[in-house]
Every structure is written in structure tokens, then in C-alpha cells.
Amino acid sequence: MLKGILAAALLLAASAAAAPLQTVPSVDLNRYLGVWHELARYDNWFQGDDCVNVTAEYGLDKDGDVSVLNTCRNPAGEVTETAEGYARVVSDSGNARLRVSFFWPIFADYWIVALADDYSWVIVSEPDRDYLWILTRSDTTSEADIQMLTARAAELGFDTNRLVFSRRK
């Protein structure tokens, strides 16, 4: 019986990981704009180990593109790096898919794959699930919310063992 339950759990996890990643149906871009605090991410080459207390700030520029300002801080809270870019909404995506660029002409997918009804948290990735960010509006997050967001990422087929949690002051 236990082997059957374990096999079913592994099959479910494998099928979730293999399922094509979907975005949320729609995003109210005006509600999405503003400052987001990184709760967790997949380790990546462009955010070093000392990149903590990260924020992403989104606005609208004069051309209708989404301005992007990512800010890394060290554990002492000092700004160590910023990256400015812009994003364009993909047509017919309900604003849930964007193409973001920090180095023109290179663009990357930015997919909103889960979003709280009140826009208090978001999970962002790209079609291959190689990158993942869990962002919140608050710079502090309860343990219950951390567990809920981690579970939500797992439901979407992400390997939550790969998550790097940002340190909070």
C-alpha cells in the first residue's frame, strides 16, 4: 500500500513537471505596477550569493512599455547592484506574458504563472521553468505564507528544493 501511494505521488509530481506551464488568465497591469520584494528564487548567474533583500519596481514609461528596476542589496541593506530594463506585453496574453530586456536586443520571457487575487504575491517564471521568482508586496512574510507559496510553486511543477530564500532584515 505504501509503495502504491509513493508511486502515485511520484507520478503526480512527474506529470506536473512535464505539463506545459500556463500563465494566469489576465493581469491588471496598473495593479501589478509598483514595488515587489523577492521572497525566493532559483539560483541564477546574474544574481550572486550576496544579492539579498532584492526588490523589483515596475512602472509605465512614456512609450507604454513597463519600466523595470531591479535592486540587489547586501545583508547589511546596502545597494550593491541595480539593473534597469523594460518589458513589453505579449499580444493576446491578458498582460500575463511579457518580454523583458536588460540588454537590447536580447529579450527574455517573463510569465506570471500565479498571482494572488489581491496582488499581494506573484510567482514568475518562463516556459521552460529554468528561472523562478516568488515575489511579495511586503518585505516580510509569515512562515504560513512561505509554506503556502512554496507549495503553490510545487503544484506548478517547480523543484522547490532549488529555491534560494532571500534574507530579510
Rounded to two decimals, what is the model's pTM?
A: 0.85
pLDDT surpassing 50 at residue 8: no
Q: What is the CATH number of the domain that holds 35?
A: 2.40.128.20
Task: Between 63 and 7, name the one with better pLDDT.
Answer: 63
Q: Where are the alpha helices (DSSP H) in the chain?
A: 2-18, 29-32, 143-155
Q: Where are the alpha helices (DSSP H) in 19-162?
A: 29-32, 143-155
SS3 label, residue 137: coil
- The whole-angstrom distance between residue 52's C-alpha and the CA centroid of its chain comes to 15
Q: What is the pLDDT of residue 12?
A: 42
pLDDT surpassing 80 at residue 13: no
Residue range of the domain that includes 12:
2-165
Task: Quote the number of domains for the chain.
Answer: 1
The answer to whether 27 and 95 have CB atoms below 8 angstroms apart is yes
Q: What is the pLDDT of residue 62?
A: 87
Per residue in 105-164, pLDDT (tens digit) is: 999 999 999 999 999 999 999 999 999 999 999 999 999 999 999 999 999 999 999 999
Query: Quick one: DSSP state of residue 113?
Result: E
Per residue in 25-55, pLDDT (tens digit) is: 999 999 999 999 999 999 766 666 677 889 9
- 88 vs 101: CA distance, rounded Å: 9
The answer to whether 54 and 37 have CB atoms below 8 angstroms apart is yes
pLDDT surpassing 50 at residue 5: no
The answer to whether 24 and 124 have CB atoms below 8 angstroms apart is no
pLDDT surpassing 60 at residue 11: no
Place of cell 550572486: 48
Per residue in 48-91, pLDDT (tens digit) is: 667 788 999 999 998 889 999 999 998 888 998 899 999 999 99
The reply to whether omega before 127 is within 30° of 0 (cis) is no
